[in-house]
Amino acid sequence: MKKYLISINHRIFLVIILLVVLLGKNSIAQNAYFGGAGYEQITPVLNLGNRFKSTSSLVYQFGKTVNSTDRINFIYQKIDFDKTDKNELYYEDLNLQLEIHSIGSVYNYRFFDRWGMSLFFNAGVSLNNWKSKREAFFHQDTSGTIDLPDFERGEWSWGAKTGLQLDYSPWNFVTIGASADYSFIVASLWPSTEVRLEQISGWQFIHTKLFLQFNINL
């Protein structure tokens, strides 16, 4: 019975693939709506890069094609910076965390379209709900004792990003893409002089992303 069910599942899977290929070849060129997800690597730069190592995040996106050159994207992602750069911290056993929930709108301008590939210029804004945390810290040496309680702070902050994106559509209904963006968030991490942490104002990041999206006409 189990082998029979597996055989049926394989046949269903093959039928789905066949339908996908046929529908892809017959779909129309201009896709009005799209949605998908991607995997993104986020690298903090400048002062923020002295506290945290790079991290990764899933990105969910959907949007609408306005015309042959313009598109609007809406994006959501949750970013967790939970690995500190111990080489840059004065006390390497400090436990620091930064969590960001980001929703944003990104405008794509197509300036190249040939051989199923498109190049876009990206520009967008974001609204970010973030929370920073420093866990309780105790340290004692010949210079004295440091005994700090845990500290947590969170706010909403605006941000912006800009960059480039490459799309490849083997069929009109599906797109595989990659992008590279620079972004910043208008926010500050408070200083903690006891453990030699300076204030960081204006967080900056480099994003590199691979994604898959599906295109439909309604």
Let me know if domain 30-216 sits in CATH 3.40.50.300.
no
User: pLDDT digits over 121-176, tens only?
Assistant: 999 999 999 999 999 888 887 777 888 888 899 999 999 999 999 999 888 889 99
Query: Got the DSSP string for 160-218?
Result: EEEEEEEEEEEETTEEEEEEEEEEEEEEEEPPBGGGTB--EEEEEEEEEEEEEEEEE--
Flag whether pLDDT at 25 surpasses 70: no
User: pLDDT digits over 77-108, tens only?
Assistant: 999 999 998 888 888 888 999 999 999 999 99
The sign one gets for the Cα dihedral 119, 109, 59, 12 is negative
Question: What's the CA gap between 41 and 90, in Å, rounded?
Answer: 26
pLDDT band at 37 (very low <50, low <70, confident <90, very high): very high
155 Ramachandran zone, left/alpha/beta (phi>0; psi -120 to 50): beta
Domain-wise residue ranges, the chain? 30-216
Flag whether pLDDT at 13 surpasses 80: no
Percent with pLDDT over 90 in the chain:
58
Coil/strand/helix, residue 38: strand
Flag whether pLDDT at 23 surpasses 70: no
Coil/strand/helix, residue 16: helix
Flag whether pLDDT at 183 surpasses 90: yes
Please give the mean pLDDT across all residues of the chain: 85
Flag whether pLDDT at 67 surpasses 70: yes
Residue 148: closest CA among 197, 89, 85: 197
Q: What's the pLDDT score for residue 55?
A: 96
CB contact set of 216 (below 8 Å; sequence gap of 6+): 31, 32, 33, 34, 173
Reported in sequence order, the residue ranges of the chain that DSSP labels E, i.e. its strands, are 33-45, 55-65, 70-81, 96-114, 117-134, 137-141, 144-148, 151-171, 174-189, 200-216
